[in-house]
Amino acid sequence: MFLNLNKLRLSDTVVTKRSQNLTINIENKSQQGYSGSLGTLNIHAEETAESKTTVEFVFRCTNLENKDVFSKSDPFLKISRNAESGVTIPICKTEVIHNNLNPTWQPVCLTMLQLDNPLIIECLDFDISGKHELIGCLQAMIHICTSKVQRSMSDLKNLHKEKAGANFVATHHGRNKVLNGELFVDMYREKPTYSFLDYLSSGFELNFMVAVDFTSSNGNPKKPHSLHYIDPSGHLNAYQRAILEAGEVLQFYDSDKRFPAWGFGGRTPDGNVSYCFNLNLSPHESEVNGVEGIMAAYTYSLQNVALAGPTLVGKVIDKASQIAAKSVSQNSYKYHVLLLITDGVLTDLQETIDALVKASDLPLSILIVGVGNADFTEMEANS
């Protein structure tokens, strides 16, 4: 499958259109030639201004209309905004809460750029077929456009401040009917967000950390087919290459060149499977000296740790987050980069996502490097 752009640069093609809209045919290409259309891709471009502020919301609903016969609705919120051209652009969806007419969703973070235009907030009943049924839109504070209600950011801020609810409406036979269901904003918080370059330009040093997968799916380290095989000829395995390539770049931004290094998913010399053990097997100290120290600790662990499993990385991320949080509390100018190397799909995917969300406000980046032939599609989709 490919997008036929007639060899033109996509950005130039879109922005030079008078409406800044472009529709592209998606075609299937085989060795014998084209074998039919797979649909179209609609692209809209607009100019935006830079903003480093994000807004965190917690949404809650009460008395939603039940759309199911034998159970209760499975509601989620869909938030969209209108572009200057009038095109509706989805920007966010909450998670689905099953069998609940009074749901409270996990926090939603939106940038000021996303909130620049009036919002369209819809509550839908999830259907596994993808044909979600509209429960309702918010009652108009500004105006109703077709069947959708637009809310500005200030409206949502006022809902939180006044602890008030906004009624949903539904369209029946061309008329808008006010429903009993209400939406509440339980939390509204504006906070600055900083990029990696912001930290570096402000004088932060980098602190490199690494975590290595010691699960049995890597194969017996004594066998040449193993991802952990130490080749006597000196040829580096996949883990050694990842450590060396990332470490050689990042170490120049760290003045003391002492790097925390851990392993996870291995059976340590005490007989227990650990999901965050010091790579040098020290009972107290995880830091090693330089990239050479990481490589030496990795080799030492391979000689003394039995591969086990499953692949759980939540504890490693929590450990890295603790170090980053400590540096913030001590006002030290450190930006932390955790290199997490694994050969397979994470077993604790939801725990990992939760740990990443908790760490999102810290000066911490996490690089997940996949080695071997495992399918990392699910990890990429949820990163």
Closest among 357, 91, 59 to 187, alpha carbons compared: 59
Strands 33-44 and 258-264 come out as unpaired
Q: Which residues pair with 41 in a beta bridge?
A: 24
Spatial neighbors of 69 by CB under 8 A, at least 6 apart, are none
> Per residue in 48-81, pLDDT tens?
556 678 888 999 999 999 998 889 999 999 988 8
Answer whether 73's CB lies under 8 Å from 66's CB: yes
**Is residue 319 helix, strand or coil?**
helix
**Is residue 255 helix, strand or coil?**
coil
Residue 377: the pLDDT is: 64
Q: Which residues pair with 329 in a beta bridge?
A: none
Q: Which residues pair with 226 in a beta bridge?
A: none
What single letter denotes the amino acid at residue 200?
L
- List the chain domain ranges: 2-44, 53-192, 196-381
CA 265 to chain centre: 23
In angstroms, the CA 122 to CA 148 distance is: 8
Residue 195: the pLDDT is: 75
* Residues of the chain where predicted confidence (pLDDT) is lower than 70: 1-20, 29-36, 44-51, 84-85, 116, 139-153, 173, 374-383
Residue 7: the pLDDT is: 39
Residue 382: the pLDDT is: 43
Residue 5: the pLDDT is: 39
Residue 223: the pLDDT is: 94
Residue keyed to tokens 């609705």 = 73
Q: What are phi and psi of 252, to 5 degrees?
A: -70, -15
Residue 177: the pLDDT is: 82
Residue 348: the pLDDT is: 79
Closest among 377, 378, 373 to 348, alpha carbons compared: 378
Closest among 123, 126, 185, 179 to 148, alpha carbons compared: 123
Assigned architecture for domain 53-192: Sandwich (2.60)
Pinpoint the alpha helices (H) of the chain.
10-15, 153-162, 196-201, 238-250, 290-304, 314-329, 349-358, 377-381
CATH topology of domain 196-381: Rossmann fold (3.40.50)
Answer whether 168's CB lies under 8 Å from 179's CB: yes
In angstroms, the CA 376 to CA 36 distance is: 29
Exposed/middle/buried for residue 21 (C-beta within 10 Å: 0-12, 13-18, 19+): middle
Residue 15: the pLDDT is: 53
CA 308 to chain centre: 28
